[in-house]
Chain A
């Protein structure tokens, strides 16, 4: 604080040393006027949006994956027309979401569909969730298809129904197989929350932009949030590896 007041004039004169300048800029970026609170709020919003989008994405993903897999596995001669229709809707959903950029989806949701809404965070979370759901559904579908069909056959041959077979046999094994891919998707989701700035979501990038808009010093805020993202992703990866280790229990010999 005192050092900041002492060295700030030196910088204006251009006679500050490298470390003095470094300190002043660092102070401006993070400490002056308790700016670190803005980043913290940003982190809060980022985590909130990630959590909501994650929940929505997983629910949508499972739903779409199960519908599409169930549709493809129907007994011949017993095709359900309703399932066929729903399957068509799911296909369109996945095609449209995967076929358009995340940024464009956000802009459309923010400025066209929900143009009257001021709750940018919710709109952002909704968009990210819908986006993530399409990718998650394909990951899950891949996992369900990669499993040896003999597993489901064994379940069905014991007289278990389709739902029980999925619940106890197929999904637990598929989940283990797709965990790395899911982790990947969730990391992408976490970082994609930075895009909701474009519709006014007040997350980390928003905080950084607000601060360097006043100090005209971009490096520290941007490097700062980059470090925060990195830290969050590392924590996330660590949690994922813990989960993977737990699920590997049945592999020990």
Chain B
């Protein structure tokens, strides 16, 4: 579904991603783990071109999206993204947060989008918050809304950039539960996270990144049960 070839990214002289090739298959639950500064967030953000790759190509649904001629807005409509800091729009109600993009991009009418929003909100148990503003919600609620907002566009793949890292510990569970449910529904997901439990339970492939490279990848059982790379062994000994 997403094919990454020889992806490199530099910020000035600092090379963050070093010649990464990877493939995301439909239905994949790919979990990327690694220490801070390993390039995992940059890699994820490259997938929908929030970061412009310095070199390499990314193909999504058979289309080379790194080509400057591609209308990136159209591509992004098929790729949902959830951010560490939620990035809800504080100047709009929850309903408006969810319906803005589907309506403005012509995907739905306002009435259809409102229906969709109500349906998704009830799925995450926040239907009564539709008319609240983001600042009136807890972090966990905000992140569940952010997931709903991305889902309202009917994306083919969901990208999660450390979705629980900015949450109070007691709110992590509610967000992971929503993500787990989404995974069970068969959504293709790429998740950057520090939640090893989630990686083990939900992921079907786990990637370990460090210093801009994918050092090891495999099933959760392999990565957590039988790590080969010494960097990974060291990393796991610290976080588990």
Contact = CB atoms under 8 A, between A and B. Distances in A.
B87 A159 contact: no
A148 B105 contact: no
Contacts of B150: 157-158
A75 B54 CA distance: 12
A168 interface: yes
B24 interface: no
A96 interface: no
B140 to A, nearest CB: 16
B14 interface: no
Contacts of A148: 85, 87
A161 B73 contact: yes
8 contacts: A78-B68, A150-B87, A151-B89, A154-B88, A158-B153, A159-B76, A168-B104, A173-B89
Contacts of A173: 89-91
Contact of B91 (A159, A161, A176): A176
A161 B73 CA distance: 6
Contacts of B149: 158
Given A156-B76, A158-B76, A158-B149, A250 B91 contact: yes
A159 B153 contact: yes
Contact of B52 (A76, A155, A159): A76
A147 to B, nearest CB: 10
A164 B78 CA distance: 18
B135 A253 contact: yes
Contacts of A81: none
Contacts of A75: 52, 68
Interface in B35-93: 48, 50, 52, 68, 73-81, 83, 85, 87-92
A156 B153 contact: no
A252 B93 CA distance: 12
B135 A251 contact: yes
B53 to A, nearest CB: 10
Nearest to A157: B81
Contacts of A33: none
The 7 A-B residue pairs whose C-beta atoms are closest, nearest first, are A159-B77, A154-B87, A158-B101, A157-B81, A150-B87, A159-B76, A250-B133
Nearest to B87: A154
A150 B77 contact: no
A140 B91 CA distance: 18
Interface string A149-185: 0110111111111001000110011001000000000
B227 to A, nearest CB: 33
Interface of B: 48, 50, 52, 68, 73-81, 83, 85, 87-92, 100-101, 104-105, 133, 135-136, 146, 149-150, 153
Interface residues of A, number: 26
Given A150-B87, A169-B89, A172-B91, A159 B101 contact: yes
Given A75-B68, A150-B87, A250 B73 contact: no
A77 interface: yes
Contacts of B83: 150, 153-154
A62 B83 CA distance: 30
B68 A164 contact: no
A244 to B, nearest CB: 14
Contacts of B133: 250-252
Nearest to B45: A153
A112 to B, nearest CB: 45
Given A75-B68, A77-B52, A252 B105 contact: no
B46 to A, nearest CB: 13
Contacts of B153: 158-159
A251 B146 CA distance: 18
Nearest to B107: A159
A83 to B, nearest CB: 15
A78 B66 CA distance: 12
A164 B149 CA distance: 16
Contacts of A153: 50, 83, 87
Contacts of B74: 159
Given A77-B52, A150-B87, A159 B73 contact: yes
A102 to B, nearest CB: 35
A159 B105 contact: yes
A173 B146 CA distance: 18
Nearest to A171: B91
Contacts of A164: 104
